[in-house]
Every structure is written in structure tokens, then in C-alpha cells.
Amino acid sequence: MDDPIGPAGAGIVLNVRAVDLVRGDRLLLEEITFTVRAGEHWALLGPNGAGKSTLLRILATYAHPTRGQVDILGRRLGRVNVFSLRPLIGFVSQQHPLLSARTVREVVLTGATGTIEPVLRRTPDAAELRRAGDLIELMGLGRLAGARWPVLSHGERGRTLIARALMAEPPLLLLDEPAAGLDVAGREQLLASMDDLRERQRGLATVLVTHHLEELPASTSHALLLRGGRTVAAGPVASVLTTEQVSTCFDYPIAIARHAGRWTSVASPAGRL
């Protein structure tokens, strides 16, 4: 049975409480607790195998916790029909199974129907076309609106998928390693677009998975550090992304610095914190 549909309390978009995830005899996530409010921009950071993408799939309703509670926009996972909830969540993954040579505009427009391919015999209305055009411009893809998927760079595809995810005007945007595989120029274009998006849509909440601090937009407000499926630290970035806590998370002495809102990380001299 569905939970009653209503707004999340006090602007809460995600409320995760004591979440465990067990697969076979493996405990993939243990006692994960954090809260995301409207307008907050969270980073999920940790080494490979930490459980970041696994946790993101729970937040996107594509997996359910073994124990604990997950409330998404006021709906309790396990009690709500996920197919009614998913249109309210923008989920961006690099594994987008598009097989045909669609244009950027056509791919973005599929976000209005929640489909991979355009729906046969359905014509987008004027409002959808305007919104698609606005999002394409916002993501810095205006000159590529008519370019087809096979000729797009990895970064251009990523920005196209973010625009697609925003077509339904979701209050929550989840991004799974959006900068993975990008060169420096592609990464900087993506991060600039993310900062611009967050400035224009102040109520949007985002959660971004990465294991590189250099891939965090300057607008990142909060962070959750994961190691071995457990929380190392969670909260505002100033208190979480510190040399001590990041070093603990990655089990290696790493010096953290921040300049012009962006983070860098280097090995500590002679392995000292």
C-alpha cells in the first residue's frame, strides 16, 4: 500500500535512516543515515567498492534496503509504487541504452515521457519543445541540438543526459559519476553547467557520486564519505572534506586543499598527515 502522498517535512527531499543492504552473505551497506533537503547538493565519495553507486540505486528506487528506512519526497520506499515516484527523480547514469542515432534534442525530449526512444506517433507539444530548448542551452549544447548521438563526445553525452533528466522538472537529481572518462575540458564544461543549473534552480536537490574530489562542482554543499559500505563522515563539506577524514576514507595519507571553491587532493609528503 502506498504512503499518503504529501510534501516532505521541513523541505526534506531524502531521509535515510539506519540502512543496511545484504546480498547473499555480503553486507554491502551498513547503518547509513543522512538527510538531504531542498537546495542541498551532496557528494557521495569513497574508494572503489565503497558502496556509492549501490546507495545511489536505492535513492533512485532501483534497489531496496534489507533493513532501515528510506523516505523519498515524503514517500516510504517499500510502501510506495516506485513507478509513480520515479518521474519525480532525475537519474543520470553513463549506461544509457540508446541504440539509435537520435539527435540531442530528441534524446532530451524523451525525458518528458520517461522512455529511451521517442514514443511512436506522439508529437511533443510547444511547452515541451521550449523546455527542451532551454535545457539544451543551459547545458551548453545549443550548437549541438541537431547533432546525433554517435558523434557526440563522452562529455556532450553526459550533459545531454542531465538535460533529459531535468525535462520532467524533478525536485531531485541523482548523478552516477557524471565526469568519469572526461578530459579536462569536458570535465570543466560539465562542472560549469552543474554550477549554473544549481544557481538557476535553487530548490533542486542533487546527489553526485564520484571518487575524485576534482570532479566536484564548486556548488557542492554537503558530502558523505563511504568506506566498505559504512559512513566515515557526513554533513557540510567544510567539516567532512578534511585531510584527516578523506585520508581515513581512502586509507591513504591525502592532503586536501580548496581554491576558488574547488578541491584538490595530493599524497601527503612522506606519507604524513
* Domain coverage including residue 262: 9-271
Q: Quick one: average pLDDT of 214-221?
A: 95
Domain-embedded: residue 1: no
Q: Per-residue confidence at 33, pLDDT binned at 50, 70, 90?
A: very high
Task: Give 40's DSSP letter.
Answer: -
- Inside any domain, residue 184: yes
CA torsion angle for 14, 18, 24, 28 (degrees, to 10)? 70
Whether 168 is covered by a domain: the verdict is yes
pLDDT at 9 exceeding the cut of 70: no
What CATH number is associated with residue 228? 3.40.50.300
Residue 76 in domain: yes
E strand segments, 114-261: 172-176, 205-210, 222-227, 230-236, 254-259
Beta bridge partners of 35: 15
Pick the residue with more confidence: 193 or 240? 240
Does residue 6 register a pLDDT over 50? no
Residue 271's pLDDT band (cuts 50, 70, 90)? low
Instruction: Take residue 32 and report the three cell numbers written for it.
Output: 547509513
Of all residues in the chain, what percent carry a pLDDT higher than 70?
A: 95
* Arithmetic mean of pLDDT over the chain: 90
Amino acid occupying residue 40: E
Distance from C-alpha of 212 to C-alpha of 225, rounded to nearest angstrom: 12
Cβ atoms within 10 Å of 3's Cβ, excluding its own: 14
The contacts of residue 144 (CB under 8 Å, 6+ apart) are: 104, 136, 152, 156
> In angstroms, rounded to a whole number, what is the distance separating the alpha carbons of residues 1 and 23?
25
| Other CB atoms within 10 A of residue 68 CB | 18
CA 209, CA 70: separation in Å to the nearest integer? 18
Q: Does 235 reside within a domain? A: yes
Q: Is residue 230 part of a domain?
A: yes
In a domain, 55, yes or no: yes
* Reported pTM: 0.89
- DSSP states of 84-136 as a string? HHGGGEEEE-S-----S--BHHHHHHGGGTT-SSPPTT----HHHHHHHHHHH
Distances (CA, A) of 196 to 22, 46, 203: 38, 26, 13
Number of domains, the chain: 1
Q: Is residue 4 situated within a structural domain?
A: no
